[in-house]
Amino acid sequence: MSGEIRALCFLLKDIRVKSSKIFGMDADMLRVRLQHLPIAALRYYDVTGSTNQDALEWIEDGADEYSLVVADSQTAGRGRMGRRWETRPAAALAFSLILKPREEEKPYLSLFSPLCAVAVAQVLINVYRLKGVQVKWPNDVLIQRRKVCGILVESAWEGDSLLGIAAGVGINVLPEALPPDEQLLFPATCVATQLGKSVDRFDLLAAVLSEMMAWRPHLATGQLIQAWDRLLAFKGEAVRLEHQEHVVSGKLLGVVQDGSLCIQTETEGIQTFYFGDVHLRPEPFCD
Ligand code: BTN
């Protein structure tokens, strides 16, 4: 299909838009701004519960690969480990990209969330020229040691069969996106503050989607793990890791081939931790 025809299909494909305005612009404009990308279909909401929930339901209804849900605000945004994720109007990016992992990608499903983190980090570094961009294992993006982006990848199954995944990304764009200090589990920041000027959220969204798609062929090549390790926050520093009821302290060494985090402990030697219920903090944790 030629790029022109694909763009036309994209513009014509229906699209569930609960309001025609987004970020002060027409939602059609969002479609136009994403037309250089192979987005299959778009659902835009001024307000929704959770774009991940919308995406999972859409997968069950037969969404195509690279269908996209974008919301200006979420009332029940989901974070990792059952936490909430605030998305206030006109201040943040909240979207979920639907992926249909191919057979050869299925052993690497857990790497889709670091893939999103690496993509966001690379955009902040290469497009926005920001300094101090890192990834706090497993997949929080930090600028100057403050969290700017959270990622939650969820999957939809029919029995044992994977229907698709919702790669959910939330980026603090303006200062209004930040929850009050007392609600923060980790210091936070936003792109505009770090950049010292306002940011066009459509540009940011398009750049991140494009980078996510570009990293996908590297899911299983080792290049993704290398990029993730290069971007890793607190490397060589003393960290404290809470894992279920255990607390492990040691020096953070890096990410290894299967995505585990290695910590050099004083008493137990090198320990590795896989994804899961893990809280990682620099030690001493200071704001
Ligand atoms: C975290 O850091 O705990 C992960 C936050 C993930 C938030 C995004 S916003 C878009 C998508 N929809 C959701 O409900 N959650 C993710």
Q: Are 102 and 112 in contact (CB under 8 A)?
A: no
Q: What is the mean predicted confidence (pLDDT) over 187-203? A: 95
Within 6 A (CB) of ligand 1 lie 50-52, 74, 77-80, 83, 85, 87, 94-96, 140, 150-152, 168-170
Predicted pLDDT of residue 125:
98
Distance 160 CA to ligand 1 centre (A): 25
Distance 153 CA to ligand 1 centre (A): 8
Atom of ligand 1 nearest to the CA of 51: 12
Predicted pLDDT of residue 278:
59
- In the chain, what are the domain boundaries? 23-231, 238-280
Alpha helix ranges (H) inside 1-61: 3-12, 27-33, 51-60
Q: How far apart are CA 158 and CA 103, in angstroms?
A: 16
Strands laid side by side in the 261-265 sheet: 269-273, 261-265, 246-255, 238-243, 278-282
pLDDT-derived band of residue 22, with 50, 70 and 90 as boundaries?
very low
Q: Which amino acid is present at 184? A: L
Predicted pLDDT of residue 220:
87
Whose alpha carbon is nearest atom 2 of ligand 1? 150
Predicted pLDDT of residue 277:
52
Predicted pLDDT of residue 287:
33
pLDDT-derived band of residue 276, with 50, 70 and 90 as boundaries?
low
Mutate to test the pocket of ligand 1, among 69, 78, 155 (most ligand atoms within 8 A of CB): 78
Mean pLDDT, the chain, whole residue set: 88
pLDDT-derived band of residue 180, with 50, 70 and 90 as boundaries?
confident
Would you state the structure tokens that stand for residue 237, as one six-digit string? 């520093």
> Comparing 254 with 183, which gets the higher pLDDT?
254
Mutate to test the pocket of ligand 1, among 152, 208, 209 (most ligand atoms within 8 A of CB): 152
Whether the pTM exceeds 0.85: the reply is yes
Alpha helix ranges (H) inside 217-265: 223-230
Predicted pLDDT of residue 281:
76
**pLDDT of residue 182 exceeding 90:** no
Predicted pLDDT of residue 284:
60
Would you state the structure tokens that stand for residue 108, as one six-digit string? 């690497």
pLDDT-derived band of residue 3, with 50, 70 and 90 as boundaries?
very low
CA distances from 83 to 145, 159, 173, 258, 275 (A): 21, 26, 20, 26, 16
Distance 25 CA to ligand 1 centre (A): 24
pLDDT over 70 for what percent of the chain? 88
**pLDDT of residue 5 exceeding 70:** no
269 by Cβ neighbours in 10 Å (0-12 / 13-18 / 19+) ranks as exposed
Q: What is the mean predicted confidence (pLDDT) over 76-104? A: 95
Half-sphere exposure of 179 (CA within 13 A, CB side): 13
Alpha helix ranges (H) inside 69-218: 112-126, 191-195, 201-215
Predicted pLDDT of residue 280:
74
Q: How far apart are CA 189 and CA 41, in angstroms?
A: 31
Q: Are 75 and 87 in contact (CB under 8 A)?
A: no
- Which letter does DSSP use for residue 245 in this model? T
Mutate to test the pocket of ligand 1, among 142, 169, 178, 212 (most ligand atoms within 8 A of CB): 169
144 by Cβ neighbours in 10 Å (0-12 / 13-18 / 19+) ranks as middle
* Superfamily of structural domain 23-231: Bira Bifunctional Protein; Domain 2 (3.30.930.10)
What b/e readout covers 22-59, taking b as 16+ CB neighbours within 10 angstroms?
bbeeebeebbebbbebbbebbbbbbebebbbbbbbebb
Predicted pLDDT of residue 26:
65
Would you state the structure tokens that stand for residue 140, as one six-digit string? 């929080």
**Fold designation for 238-280:** SH3 type barrels. (2.30.30)
Q: Are 275 and 138 in contact (CB under 8 A)?
A: yes
Distance 257 CA to ligand 1 centre (A): 26
Distance 68 CA to ligand 1 centre (A): 14
Predicted pLDDT of residue 207:
98
**pLDDT of residue 181 exceeding 50:** yes
Q: Which of 46-50, 130-134, 170-174, 245-249 has the lowest mean pLDDT?
A: 245-249
pLDDT-derived band of residue 179, with 50, 70 and 90 as boundaries?
confident
Q: Helix, strand, coil proportions of the chain in percent (round to 5)?
A: 30, 35, 35
First CA to last CA distance, the chain: 52
Distance 94 CA to ligand 1 centre (A): 7
